[in-house]
Amino acid sequence: MSAAGGSVSPPPPGLSIADLDDPAAVARHENVLMRRALADMRTADLRNHIRSHVRRMSTLVTTTLHAAGIDVATMMLGMRAGDAWSTQALVGAWARQGMMCRMTPVHGRHHLHGAMRRRGSFEIPAVDRPTETMVAEVVGNRIEFMMNGPDFILTTARGRARLTFDGSLPAVLAAIARGERLDRVVDHPLLHGAGLVVDGFESTSATTSIEFVAAELPVAIPEFGKGGTRVEAEG
Amino acid sequence: VSKLKADAARAARAAREGVMLAAARRACEEARVLNRMVENMRLTSFRTYLAATVNSMSSIVPDVLSVGRSDVGAALQRIRPGHLWPENTRPRSALRGSMSSYYNQALDTPLIGDAVILDGLKDWIEAVIYGGSLEVLLRGPAYTLSTRTGTARMKLEAIPHTAVGSCVGRAIEEVVDHALLRGRGFVVEKAARVGTSTVVSFEVGTRPLEMPWAWG
């Protein structure tokens, strides 16, 4: 097996020679093998899509990857397709934000919401902000960034970013906020000193959204190799 | 010139969208093929498991199935694995099983698979594999008849409390008149008021059963 493509799937645990006489153990074993094969085939499909279509990537992905000490090739290899990959791969733009709703902390950590996990995505470890989940996600021909915090959601779509948080702000503020520097409106380490400017502001009775330009860069697509689709680093 | 530029941009955008649409279609098609493949593999695995483990059915199962114009062979062909199979075949620890006899039975004979045989307006018939045996559920307008390893259970409209106790030991025809149960010598073993209904149970016995497909 090639070094880049990862190794062959390890044998599933818990099937000994004695178990071959137990139909239930055999059935469970077959089930594990089947699900594994399905996951591998989905991932192969996702890589196929990345190789032939993905051309651009949000710079927020690059920045956060860099902060976590991961390079782009590793991220591409770590991309996994969930069971909604094919049907929702191209749900674009802001529709994704609507799919994510409240996340509740489980065991002190915010869990990846289903809509984030079930499509082609890679979770970027948040180095010093354990309450936030960051995901690089394949959407159409781009790799977009998505971040879920305890009280906000940040998504990018086609070169723009939208930050949505709880609470309503008066319309007077909206007029002031538009054109204001982003780091003077929201305080988050990711958005510091990037020279970003708020150019959209929307407030409903429950939530407030801020929009700004989030740059995109062309992305180099790595050779995925011809080996199995499983990657050693997978948890 | 600006109009030409706008037209070119529009054409380019349309072309890009066309490419992505084709990609979406291809991805969906691929998913459909994968899902069908996995479903087939799961069914094959399931039928091998049934052939190895299922060996009996309650004796009134063929009669109930014939009400739905079906038979044992056809019902077995229609049965599909339940969503918890095969994980629910894992042996349970003694501790968990000892919580109550009802719970115990549910764990010892997990639902392996089922099929709806009849979903008419009046009657509903289900064929279900519990543990190692084929059982049925027949839901009529005013009653529910179900079987579990040789014991049938009939849920009826409530009869007076005083009458409940006197049902035990009587022939089932004296308690409820049902074409399936007439003249077969079934005797009520237990009767109880459960909520707003009365439940009577009686022994019907089991019959051996073999899967209509060969060993996989």
CA–CA–CA angle A152, A219, A123 (5° rounding): 40
Measure the N-to-C terminal CA separation of chain A; round to a whole number of Å: 20
User: Among all chains, which residue has been given the structure tokens 């003077």?
Assistant: A184
Q: pTM of whole model > 0.90?
A: no
H helix or E strand, kind and range, residue B41: helix B2-53
Closest CA to B34 of A71, A217, A58, A46: A46
Query: Does the pLDDT value for residue A4 go beyond 70?
Result: no
Provide mean pLDDT across the span B23-48: 87
Query: Does the pLDDT value for residue A102 go beyond 70?
Result: no
Q: Alpha helix locations (H) across A84-163?
A: 85-88, 95-99, 114-117
Looking at A43-57, B110-124, B196-210, which range is the least confident one?
A43-57
Select from A28, A54, A138 the residue whose CB has the most chain B CBs within 10 Å, as the one to mutate to test that interface: A28
Question: Cα A168 to chain center, whole Å?
Answer: 27
Query: Does the pLDDT value for residue A91 go beyond 70?
Result: no
Collect all residues of chain B within an 8 Å Cβ-Cβ radius of residue A28.
86-87, 89-90
- CA A5/CA B4 separation, integer angstroms: 47
Q: Could A52 and B23 be called an inter-chain contact, meaning their C-beta atoms sit closer than 8 Å?
A: yes
Query: Does the pLDDT value for residue B94 go beyond 80?
Result: no
Tell me how close the Cα of B200 comes to any Cα of chain A, in angstroms. 34
- CA B61/CA B64 separation, integer angstroms: 5
ipTM score for this prediction? 0.77
Which residue among B20, B27, B85 sits closest to A45, beta carbon to beta carbon? Answer: B27
Closest CA to A152 of A132, A172, A138: A132
Handedness of CA B93, B98, B99, B101 (dihedral sign): positive
- Residue with the bigger pLDDT between A178 and A116: it is A178
Query: Does the pLDDT value for residue A109 go beyond 70?
Result: no
Provide mean pLDDT across the span A139-151: 84
Query: Does the pLDDT value for residue B44 go beyond 90?
Result: yes
The confidence band for A207, taking pLDDT boundaries of 50, 70 and 90, is: confident
Q: B102-121, pLDDT tens digit by residue?
A: 555 666 788 999 999 999 88
Collect all residues of chain A within an 8 Å Cβ-Cβ radius of residue B19.
53, 141
Window 22-51 of A, Cβ < 8 Å to B: 23-24, 26-28, 30-31, 34, 38, 41-42, 45, 49
Residues in Cβ contact with B117 at an 8 Å cutoff, skipping those fewer than 6 apart: B65, B68, B70, B75, B78, B125, B126, B127, B136
Predicted confidence at residue A231, as pLDDT, reads: 44
- CA B145/CA B179 separation, integer angstroms: 12
Q: Please answer whether residues B146 and B86 qualify as being in contact, where contact means their C-beta atoms are separated by less than 8 angstroms.
A: no
Looking at A167-171, A230-234, B207-211, which range is the least confident one?
A230-234
Q: Please answer whether residues A63 and A73 qualify as being in contact, where contact means their C-beta atoms are separated by less than 8 angstroms.
A: no
The interaxial angle of helices A23-53 and B2-53, nearest 10 deg, is 170
Q: Alpha helix locations (H) across A54-170?
A: 59-68, 72-78, 85-88, 95-99, 114-117
Looking at A19-23, A107-111, A194-198, which range is the least confident one?
A107-111
Looking at A12-26, A57-71, A93-107, B52-66, which range is the least confident one?
A93-107
Predicted confidence at residue A228, as pLDDT, reads: 47
Chain B CB within 8 Å of residue A95 CB: no
- CA A231/CA A80 separation, integer angstroms: 10
Query: Does the pLDDT value for residue A226 go beyond 70?
Result: no
State what percent of residues in chain A have pLDDT above 70: 72
Chain B CB within 8 Å of residue A181 CB: no
